[in-house]
Structure 1
Amino acid sequence: MDKKNFTSISLQEEMQRSYLEYAMSVIVGRALPDARDGLKPVQRRILFAMYELGLTPDKPFRKCARVVGDVLGKYHPHGDQAVYDALVRLVQDFSTKYPTLDGHGNFGSVDNDPPAAMRYTETRLASIAHKGFLEEIGSETVSFSNNFDGSQTEPDVLPAQLPFLLLNGSSGIAVGMATNIPPHNLGEIVDSLVALVKNNDISNKKLSKIIQGPDFPTGGELIHSAAIEELYETGKGSLTIRGVINMEEVNLGKGKHKKNALIITELPYQISKAGWIEKLAELVNSGKIHGISDIRDESDRDGMRIVIELKKDSNSELVISNLYKKTTLQTNFGAIFLALIKGKPVQLSLKKYLNFFLEFREETIRKRTFYFLKNTLEKLEILEGLSKATKNIKKVVAIIEESENSVEAKSKLIKNFFLSEKQASSVLDMPLRKLTNLEKNQIDNEIINLEEKKSYFQKLLNERELLLELLIEELLILKKKYNVKRKTKVIKNINQNKELENLNNQILEEFINKKTKLCIDNRLYLKKMILGNYKKSFEVVNKFIDNKNIQKFICNIEKNIKLIGITNTGKVFNIDWESNVNNDYKLDNKILGNIHPSEIINFHSIKKEIKNYLCILNSDGRFKKVLFDEDMIKSNRSFTITKLKNNLKTIDSFISNKNKDLIILTSIGRIFRFNLSNKILTPTSKQSQGLILAKLLPSETIVSCCPFDNGENIFLISRQGKIFCINSNEIYYSNEYSLGYLNEKTQLKNDCFFKIVTSNHYLDIETNKNKSARLDLNKLNFKPNKSKFLIDFLNLDKDEYLENCFRLENFID
Structure 2
Amino acid sequence: MTKEKFTSISLQEEMQRSYLEYAMSVIIGRALPDARDGLKPVQRRILFAMHELGLTPDRPFRKCARVVGDVLGKYHPHGDQAVYEALVRLVQDFSTKYPTLDGHGNFGSVDNDPPAAMRYTETRLAPIAHECFLQEIGSETVSYSNNFDGSQQEPDILPAQLPFLLLNGSSGIAVGMATNIPPHNLGEIVDGLIALINDKEISDLRLSKIILGPDFPTGGELICNSAMNEVYLQGRGSVTVRGVIKNEEINLGKGRHKKNALIISELPYQISKAGWIEKLAELVNLGKIDGISDIRDESDRDGMRVVIELKKDSNSEIVVSNLFKKTALQSNFGAIFLALVDGKPIQLTLRKYLNYFLEFREETIRKRTKYFLRIASEKFEILEGFSIATKNIKDIIEVIQNSENATEAKSILIVKLSLSEKQADAVLSMPLKKLTTLERKQIEIDMKELLEKKKYLNNLLNNRRLLLDTLIEELKSLKKKFNVKRKTKILKDINQEKEIDTINNQILEDLINKETKISVDNRFYFKKIIYNNYKKILDHENKFIDNKNVQKFICRIDKSLKIIGITSSGKIIQIDWKSNITSEFKMDKKVLGNIDPKEIINFHYLDSKLKNYLCILSSDGRFKKVLFDEDMIKSNRIFSITKLKNSTSIIDSFILNKQQQLVILTSIGRLFKFDLSDKNLNPSTKQSLGLLLVNLLPTEQIVSCCKSKDKEILYLVSKKGKFFKLKIDDIYNSYNSKLGYVNEKMQLKDDHFITVLSSNQYIDIETNKNKSARLNLNKLDNNSGKNMLKIDFLNLEKDEYLDNCYRLEKYIN
| TM-score normalised to structure 2 length | 0.95
What is residue 616 of structure 1 aligned with on the other side? Answer: 616
Structure 1 residue 184 and structure 2 residue 184: aligned?
yes
- My pick for the range that moved more, 616-625 or 284-293, is 284-293
Residues in 1 aligned to 2:466 and 2:371: alpha-carbon distance in whole angstroms? 18
Per-residue deviation at 1:281? Answer: 2.1
What is residue 370 of structure 1 aligned with on the other side? Answer: 370
Residues in 2 aligned to 1:464 and 1:297: alpha-carbon distance in whole angstroms? 57
Residues in 2 aligned to 1:787 and 1:375: alpha-carbon distance in whole angstroms? 120
Alignment CA distance shift 1:216-1:664 (3 Å): same
What is residue 729 of structure 2 aligned with on the other side? Answer: 729
Per-residue deviation at 1:742? Answer: 3.7
Q: Does the CA-based 8 Å contact 1:204-1:350 persist in structure 2?
A: no
What is residue 601 of structure 1 aligned with on the other side? Answer: 601
The one-letter code matched in structure 2 to 1:710 is D
Residues in 2 aligned to 1:319 and 1:184: alpha-carbon distance in whole angstroms? 31
Q: Please give the per-residue CA displacement for 1:233-272, whole angstroms capped at 9, x wherever unaligned.
A: 2221122222211221222222222222221111121122
TM alignment of 1:623-642, pairs within 5 A: 623-642=623-642
Per-residue deviation at 1:517? Answer: 1.0
What is residue 233 of structure 2 aligned with on the other side? Answer: 233
What is residue 209 of structure 1 aligned with on the other side? Answer: 209
Q: Does the CA-based 8 Å contact 2:783-2:790 persist in structure 1?
A: no
TM alignment of 1:754-773, pairs within 5 A: 754-773=754-773
TM alignment of 1:373-392, pairs within 5 A: 373-392=373-392
Per-residue deviation at 1:2? Answer: 5.6
Residues in 2 aligned to 1:3 and 1:806: alpha-carbon distance in whole angstroms? 82
Q: Please give the per-residue CA displacement for 1:456-498, whole angstroms capped at 9, x wherever unaligned.
A: 0111111111101101110110011101111111222222222
What is residue 508 of structure 1 aligned with on the other side? Answer: 508
Residues in 1 aligned to 2:188 and 2:91: alpha-carbon distance in whole angstroms? 23
Structure 1 residue 676 and structure 2 residue 705: aligned?
no
TM alignment of 1:301-320, pairs within 5 A: 301-320=301-320
Per-residue deviation at 1:78? Answer: 2.2
| TM-score normalised to structure 1 length | 0.95
- My pick for the range that moved more, 140-149 or 354-363, is 140-149
Alignment CA distance shift 1:27-1:648 (3 Å): closer
Alignment CA distance shift 1:109-1:546 (3 Å): closer
What is residue 810 of structure 1 aligned with on the other side? Answer: 810
What is residue 541 of structure 2 aligned with on the other side? Answer: 541
Per-residue deviation at 1:615? Answer: 0.3
Per-residue deviation at 1:598? Answer: 4.4
Residues in 2 aligned to 1:678 and 1:632: alpha-carbon distance in whole angstroms? 20
The one-letter code matched in structure 1 to 2:313 is D
What is residue 525 of structure 1 aligned with on the other side? Answer: 525
Alignment CA distance shift 1:803-1:39 (3 Å): closer
Q: Does the CA-based 8 Å contact 2:781-2:791 persist in structure 1?
A: no
Q: Does the CA-based 8 Å contact 2:589-2:597 persist in structure 1?
A: no
TM alignment of 1:557-596, pairs within 5 A: 557-592=557-592, 595-596=595-596
What is residue 143 of structure 1 aligned with on the other side? Answer: 143
Partner SS state of residue 218, structure 2: coil
TM alignment of 1:489-500, pairs within 5 A: 489-500=489-500
What is residue 295 of structure 1 aligned with on the other side? Answer: 295
Alignment CA distance shift 1:562-1:365 (3 Å): same
Residues in 2 aligned to 1:621 and 1:6: alpha-carbon distance in whole angstroms? 82
The one-letter code matched in structure 1 to 2:812 is I
Q: Please give the per-residue CA displacement for 1:711-747, whole angstroms capped at 9, x wherever unaligned.
A: 2222333334443333333333322443433444444
- My pick for the range that moved more, 71-80 or 2-11, is 2-11
Residues in 2 aligned to 1:296 and 1:378: alpha-carbon distance in whole angstroms? 69
Structure 1 residue 84 and structure 2 residue 84: aligned?
yes
TM alignment of 1:712-727, pairs within 5 A: 712-727=712-727
TM alignment of 1:344-355, pairs within 5 A: 344-355=344-355
Residues in 1 aligned to 2:386 and 2:245: alpha-carbon distance in whole angstroms? 72
Per-residue deviation at 1:603? Answer: 1.3
Structure 1 residue 59 and structure 2 residue 46: aligned?
no
Q: Please give the per-residue CA displacement for 1:299-345, whole angstroms capped at 9, x wherever unaligned.
A: 11111111122222222222222222222222222221111122222
Per-residue deviation at 1:748? Answer: 4.2
Alignment CA distance shift 1:523-1:175 (3 Å): closer
What is residue 651 of structure 2 aligned with on the other side? Answer: 651
Residues in 2 aligned to 1:94 and 1:770: alpha-carbon distance in whole angstroms? 56
Q: Please give the per-residue CA displacement for 1:520-549, whole angstroms capped at 9, x wherever unaligned.
A: 222222211122221232133333333333
The one-letter code matched in structure 1 to 2:367 is K
Partner SS state of residue 134, structure 1: coil
Per-residue deviation at 1:136? Answer: 0.7
The one-letter code matched in structure 2 to 1:180 is N
Alignment CA distance shift 1:339-1:767 (3 Å): closer
What is residue 20 of structure 2 aligned with on the other side? Answer: 20
Residues in 1 aligned to 2:377 and 2:331: alpha-carbon distance in whole angstroms? 58
Q: Does the CA-based 8 Å contact 1:721-1:791 persist in structure 2?
A: no
Identity among equivalent pairs (%):
71
Q: Does the CA-based 8 Å contact 2:766-2:804 persist in structure 1?
A: yes
What is residue 116 of structure 1 aligned with on the other side? Answer: 116
Per-residue deviation at 1:120? Answer: 1.6
Q: Does the CA-based 8 Å contact 2:381-2:423 persist in structure 1?
A: yes
Unaligned runs of 5+ in 1: none
Alignment CA distance shift 1:743-1:183 (3 Å): same
Partner SS state of residue 358, structure 2: helix
TM alignment of 1:260-299, pairs within 5 A: 260-299=260-299
- My pick for the range that moved more, 799-808 or 611-620, is 799-808
Alignment CA distance shift 1:749-1:375 (3 Å): closer
Alignment CA distance shift 1:596-1:418 (3 Å): closer
What is residue 484 of structure 1 aligned with on the other side? Answer: 484
Partner SS state of residue 38, structure 1: coil
Q: Does the CA-based 8 Å contact 1:516-1:556 persist in structure 2?
A: yes
Per-residue deviation at 1:639? Answer: 2.8
The one-letter code matched in structure 2 to 1:547 is N
- My pick for the range that moved more, 799-808 or 562-571, is 799-808
Partner SS state of residue 589, structure 1: coil
Residues in 2 aligned to 1:314 and 1:74: alpha-carbon distance in whole angstroms? 62
What is residue 171 of structure 1 aligned with on the other side? Answer: 171
Residues in 1 aligned to 2:671 and 2:15: alpha-carbon distance in whole angstroms? 81
Alignment CA distance shift 1:445-1:281 (3 Å): same
Per-residue deviation at 1:26? Answer: 1.8
What is residue 661 of structure 1 aligned with on the other side? Answer: 661
Residues in 2 aligned to 1:411 and 1:315: alpha-carbon distance in whole angstroms? 97
Q: Does the CA-based 8 Å contact 1:90-1:101 persist in structure 2?
A: yes
The one-letter code matched in structure 1 to 2:405 is N
Partner SS state of residue 158, structure 1: coil
Alignment CA distance shift 1:72-1:596 (3 Å): closer
Alignment CA distance shift 1:393-1:508 (3 Å): same
What is residue 688 of structure 1 aligned with on the other side? Answer: 688
Q: How many residues align?
A: 812
Residues in 1 aligned to 2:6 and 2:536: alpha-carbon distance in whole angstroms? 92
Q: Does the CA-based 8 Å contact 2:240-2:332 persist in structure 1?
A: yes
The one-letter code matched in structure 2 to 1:790 is L
Q: Does the CA-based 8 Å contact 1:726-1:787 persist in structure 2?
A: no
Per-residue deviation at 1:3? Answer: 4.7
Q: Does the CA-based 8 Å contact 1:725-1:787 persist in structure 2?
A: no
Alignment CA distance shift 1:446-1:574 (3 Å): same
Q: Does the CA-based 8 Å contact 1:573-1:637 persist in structure 2?
A: yes
Q: Please give the per-residue CA displacement for 1:129-167, whole angstroms capped at 9, x wherever unaligned.
A: 110011111111111122222222111111111111111
Unaligned runs of 5+ in 2: none
Residues in 1 aligned to 2:595 and 2:421: alpha-carbon distance in whole angstroms? 98
What is residue 253 of structure 2 aligned with on the other side? Answer: 253
Q: Does the CA-based 8 Å contact 2:517-2:530 persist in structure 1?
A: yes
Q: Please give the per-residue CA displacement for 1:59-91, whole angstroms capped at 9, x wherever unaligned.
A: 111122222222222222222222222211111
Per-residue deviation at 1:787? Answer: 6.5
What is residue 788 of structure 2 aligned with on the other side? Answer: 789
Residues in 2 aligned to 1:803 and 1:41: alpha-carbon distance in whole angstroms? 69
The one-letter code matched in structure 2 to 1:674 is F
What is residue 218 of structure 1 aligned with on the other side? Answer: 218
Residues in 2 aligned to 1:172 and 1:548: alpha-carbon distance in whole angstroms? 49
Q: Does the CA-based 8 Å contact 1:612-1:656 persist in structure 2?
A: yes
Per-residue deviation at 1:796? Answer: 4.0
Per-residue deviation at 1:625? Answer: 0.6
